[in-house]
Amino acid sequence: MLNRTQSNAISIIGATGVVVQGNYVGTDPTGLIARPNGLDNVNSSTAIDIGDFTLMATDTSTVDTLVGGTNPQDRNVVSGNYGGAFGVGAVDSTFYGNYFGLGADGLTTLGNSNGTGVTTGVLTIDYANGVQFGNGQLEGMNVVSGNSRGIQPDYSSNLVFKGNRIGTDYSGTLPRPNLRNGISLGLGTNNVTIGGSNPGDGNLIAYNQINGVETWTSGVQVSNVVIRGNDIHDNTNNGIEIGGASNLNISSNNIYNNSTANHTANIYITGASILGFNTDGVAFSGNKIGLAPDGSIANNNPLAGIYIPGDATNVIIGGPNSGNGNEIAGHGNGGVIAMSGDLQAIPAFVQANKISILSNSIHDNNSVNSGLGIDLVTGVELGMPDGIFNSYNNLGPDTNDSGDTDTGSNNLINFPVINSVDQNNLNLSVNFNLDALDSPTNQYRVEFFANDSADPSGYGEGQTYLGYATVSPGNNQIANITLPAGTNLTGKVLSATTTAIDNTTTSGFGSTSEFSLASNITVSSLPTNNNTDNSNTNNSSNNTTNNQNQSNTNLANTGDNKTIPLMILSVVMIGVAVAMITTRGKLQGIKLNKYRIDT
């Protein structure tokens, strides 16, 4: 039991292989009443320091520290302290099975920095190289809750956070919010994994009073971050907020009911070009956004699933391959909203561009305001930027312009115009026009979606992804899609999007349009044989259409745990026919884990 010290209770400097286990640090002997360390109330003090912070660099003399363990008696309760719980600036520090900010019962709130107004992180990781926080097993789970802040790494690298609970009690069922962010990655932090692919790796990050996870910068960019397999919900602002970061992979998470104060979105992406950094190279795949872990639409979703109000670029939501698709549903304003606009107080103009939105299932987003699956919006912000514009010029469906020369978010790229749709047995024939000018290759990926009904605006969302065609601009193009056995599209409507094929981006794709006007599907005849099973077919071909290369294709997952049917897609243009055959797969989601794809 270590309490009532003037500054740090423990300082570990210049040592190797130190083990800290079974202590109450900052409490009375019961572990339920605060007896704080750091009585001098110096903001920089922490209960336990690992490394020499006066170096302003990684302390390479302090190596291989273990805090806690996988047995109950190994647990440290580090709670009730002024300043913070831990400061880590050393090499290879491991944290298993500890409580930070809760009492020994895992329920009582004893936040670090309690009552002092100090806002240092409970776990301040500065200049650290190698931190393992949790091991993906229940016995190694750390709980970080009830503090002024959660976990805040700066200038650190090679960090792994697995199987922890951040913002809840030890059971994960009761709110015990950190007063700011759950995890805040800042100032050059790189090579970070939050969650993982194996059972138990995902973190529960919930009820925090600002964001669940954020990246931010005021000088050095955050980079190379993986956020995978986590359950992120009921955080007051955003589930994930990304600002001024690069090379982020966000996959297989359940993200819902965030922005409980009606701030913005489940996921908020902004650039920081006014500080010298854009947000660049962010990929989202296999996430459920707006849906609870059981697949139902969550009850308290915010205005947008993914909101991009700044100058982010090279962002891909979904992707061309099986399993890439996200499911985005149940939001009050739109599934994906990308902004451009004037920041008059700076002044500056920001524009989200080359936001690729591919192979997702986007549905049931509310018709209040715009309610679109994808909304490309322009606006004006009079005060200092906070992501909430004072006025919006084109909420709701945009209209195509001749020649596609208008500007705005994603350059307001034109959507396809569907002329007719007909199902004849297992063939779906789509006649469409494309007038687009946003691809350096003059080629575009046109994706097709079936919907139960159109939005009240008459435009589609994208409920069920059917397949795609790669084309150059032109009129009266014909896409022939071979449907799976037993498919009946009676009463459904078809929508489509345009995505530029762009060899200047990491993904090979550029800007995506809004969804097209929904078109009724004529059913000429229905299939009579429902027993065909093409699940073992997996072919593709390279052909040409309109003298352009026809790309190979895989049908991407819709993100909704449904069987994905075999599709054969062909494009006929000026008498030239080509065919692309996609795969069939089945997506099985496991809460807090990476999805498994069986093909």
pLDDT tens figures, 254-266: 999 998 776 679 9
Scanning the structure block, which residue is given the tokens 């794709």?
Answer: 509
Which token pair is 13? Answer: 């400097």
Question: For 283-292, what is each residue's pLDDT tens digit?
Answer: 999 999 999 9
**What CA–CA distances, in Å, run from 367 to 307, 325, 333?**
17, 23, 7
Gap between the Cα atoms of 154 and 563, Å rounded = 43
pLDDT at 242 over 50: yes
Structure-model confidence comparison of residues 409 and 572, the more confident one? 409
Cα 597 to Cα 319: distance, rounded to the nearest angstrom = 15
Phi-psi region of 530 (alpha: psi -120 to 50; beta: other; left: phi over 0): alpha
**Residue 276 — very low, low, confident or very high, per pLDDT cuts 50/70/90?**
low
Query: Cα–Cα–Cα angle for 327, 329, 335, nearest 5°?
Result: 95
Highest mean pLDDT pick, 25-34, 363-372, 545-554: 25-34
- Domains of the chain, first to last: 10-410 (2.160.20), 415-588 (no CATH)
The overall average pLDDT reported for the chain is: 84
pLDDT at 561 (0 to 100): 36
Between the CA of residue 255 and those of 98, 181, 266, 292, what are the distances in Å?
25, 15, 6, 8
Is beta strand 548-550 parallel, antiparallel or unpaired with respect to 543-545? antiparallel
More confident residue, 587 or 302: 302
> CA nearest 179: which of 208, 152, 204, 211?
208
Q: Could you tell me which of 417, 378, 373 has the C-alpha nearest to residue 394?
A: 378
**How do strand 474-482 and strand 568-573 relate by DSSP bridges?**
antiparallel
Q: Are 233 and 266 in contact (CB under 8 A)?
A: no
State the pLDDT at residue 13.
95
CA separation (Å) from 374 to 178, 348, 402, 497? 33, 25, 21, 10
| Residue of 445, 417, 428 lying closest to 550 (CA atoms) | 445
**Tokens for 310?**
């700044």
CA 108/CA 27 separation, integer angstroms: 12
Instruction: Report the C-alpha gap between 273 and 52 in whole angstroms.
Output: 34
- How does strand 464-471 pair with strand 444-451? antiparallel
- Whether 148 contacts 110, CB under 8 Å: no
Tens-place pLDDT, residues 87-136: 899 999 999 999 999 999 999 999 998 444 444 567 889 999 999 999 99
The reported pTM is: 0.87
Angle at 437 between CA 434 and CA 438, to 5 degrees: 115
The predicted structure's pLDDT at residue 385? 63
- Residue range 417-437, pLDDT digits in tens: 999 999 999 999 999 999 999
- Of the two residues 352 and 599, the one the predictor is more confident about is 352
pLDDT at position 52 is: 87
Count of Cβ atoms closer than 10 Å to residue 325 Cβ: 30
If you search the block for the tokens 């690298």, which residue do you land on? 157
Stretch 139-158: mean pLDDT:
96
**pLDDT value, residue 574:** 30
Element (H, E) at 269: strand 265-270
Higher-pLDDT residue of 163, 527: 163
**Mean pLDDT of all residues in 32-37:** 92
Residue bearing the bigger pLDDT, 384 or 474: 474
Q: What are the tokens at 78?
A: 């580090």
Highest mean pLDDT, choosing among 46-50, 150-154, 164-168, 372-376: 164-168
pLDDT per position as a tens digit, 162-215? 999 999 999 999 999 999 999 999 989 999 999 999 999 999 999 999 999 999
Query: Sheet containing 24-25: which strands, arranged edge to edge?
Result: 24-25, 77-78, 99-100, 143-144, 165-166, 204-206, 231-233, 254-256, 288-289, 327-329, 361-363
Q: How confident is the model at residue 380 (pLDDT cuts 50, 70, 90)?
A: confident
- pLDDT confidence of 537, banded at 50, 70, 90? very low
**Which tokens go with 516?**
């097209």
